[in-house]
Amino acid sequence: MNGSERAHDGKVVLITGGSQGIGRGIALTFARRGASVVVHGLTADYVDETVALIRDAGGTAIGTFGPIDQEHTSTDAVALAIDTYGRLDHLVTAAGIQRYGDAVDTPIETWDEVFGVNVRGVFLAARAALPQIRARQGTVTIISSVQATATQNNVVAYTASKGALNSLCRAMAVDEAAYGVRVNSIAPGSVDTPMLRTSAAEWSDGTREGVERTIANWGTMHALGRVAQPDEIGEAASFLASDAASFVTGSELRVDGGLLARIAAALPTKD
Ligand SMILES: NC(=O)c1ccc[n+]([C@@H]2O[C@H](COP(=O)([O-])OP(=O)(O)OC[C@H]3O[C@@H](n4cnc5c(N)ncnc54)[C@H](O)[C@@H]3O)[C@@H](O)[C@H]2O)c1
């Protein structure tokens, strides 16, 4: 057994958006490494599914659900962690939404919705969890996006929200260092999740073949030639919360298959 296999033995992690997609991949990874997992999601059904997946694999988990832009959702989740497991060591924020539009056609309500979930939601979760995490000298890991750094057309609200998260990460890293708490963000490239599949349906003919073709096409934009699986983000989140990352704070870890390493222009191929 190597060190990472049980890196989270005896630790408790709260994962917002842990019910589906990237958050589910993170929840399963932490559970495999010995953590007791508090799985949060918007609705009970997918939370229950993820909790069952963890328990069926021999892990320990409990679920909670609710809108992450409301303060009680995070305070309830933290209270559940303490009532059930007696401690909270780590927070991973994976709840997030993607909406499309440029600065003119993005409805103000959509802007507020995106910032409500993606930014206010992370702030509220950190605000509720940090007193417990400080007591354990634990960690906070924010799931941001490559879109905090480079972007595409028609995603003004989403891109701005991810930029705000990277700034929030730096600000909290500086403040929390005094308490022995590390705060980092992860910038995934494209990851095969319900969110990505919804986007692929929107930008293709919507058939199963069209969605698969679109995802495969998006994969070719990454140097590794494919999109990621949620477990691959789980590995990165597990590393950042582990003692192996003891000198890592305030950082933005790209897990993007080389997406941002490449510029669009290519040299002509030699004959
Ligand atoms: N999938 C990708 O390609 C990709 C790439 C980069 C970054 N991300 C980011 O990763 C995070 C997770 O994305 P995903 O692809 O797994 O998405 P997903 O839609 O598959 O899952 C989103 C999760 O967030 C929760 N959620 C959504 N709205 C919520 C709300 N209002 N209140 C509480 N919970 C809510 C859902 O219940 C679910 O658990 C997001 O922040 C997203 O921006 C995703």
- Residue 52, C-beta contacts closer than 8 angstroms, at least 6 positions apart: none
What CA dihedral angle connects 213, 219, 225 and 226, to 10 degrees? -90
Phi, psi of 63, rounded to the nearest 5 degrees: -115, 155
Phi, psi of 206, rounded to the nearest 5 degrees: 85, -10
**35-57 pLDDT tens trace:** 999 999 999 999 999 999 999 99
The pair of structure tokens assigned to 261 is 């390493």
The finding on whether 194 has its CB within 6 A of some atom of ligand 1 is yes
**210-219 pLDDT tens trace:** 999 999 999 9
Question: In the prediction, which pLDDT does 1 show?
Answer: 42
Contact 259, 222 (CB under 8 A): yes
For residue 146, name the pLDDT band (cuts at 50, 70, 90).
very high
**Which atom of ligand 1 is least distant from the CA of 40?**
39
- Residue 99 gets the label, from left (phi > 0), alpha (psi -120 to 50) or beta, of beta
- Residue 43, C-beta contacts closer than 8 angstroms, at least 6 positions apart: 19, 65
- Output the residue whose Cα is nearest ligand 1's atom 23: 17
Question: In the prediction, which pLDDT does 4 show?
Answer: 73
What CA dihedral angle connects 239, 11, 30 and 116, to 10 degrees? -90
Contact 41, 21 (CB under 8 A): no
Distance 42 CA to ligand 1 centre (A): 10
The finding on whether 27 has its CB within 6 A of some atom of ligand 1 is no
As a whole number of angstroms, the distance between CA 41 and CA 64 comes to 7
Q: Is 179 annotated as catalytic?
A: no
DSSP code, position 106 = S
Mean pLDDT, the chain, whole residue set: 96
3 state SS of 270:
coil
Distances, alpha carbon 5 to alpha carbons 59, 121, 271, in Å: 13, 31, 48
The finding on whether 42 has its CB within 6 A of some atom of ligand 1 is yes
> Mind listing the domains of the chain with CATH numbers?
9-191+228-255 (3.40.50.720)
- Output the residue whose Cα is nearest ligand 1's atom 34: 42
The pair of structure tokens assigned to 128 is 């509720």
Distance 23 CA to ligand 1 centre (A): 7
Distance 1 CA to ligand 1 centre (A): 32
The sign of the CA dihedral 1, 231, 82, 131 is: positive
* Range with lowest mean pLDDT among 100-104, 223-227, 264-268: 264-268
Give mean pLDDT, residues 186-190: 98
DSSP code, position 58 = T
**87-100 pLDDT tens trace:** 999 999 999 999 99
The length of the chain in residues reads 271
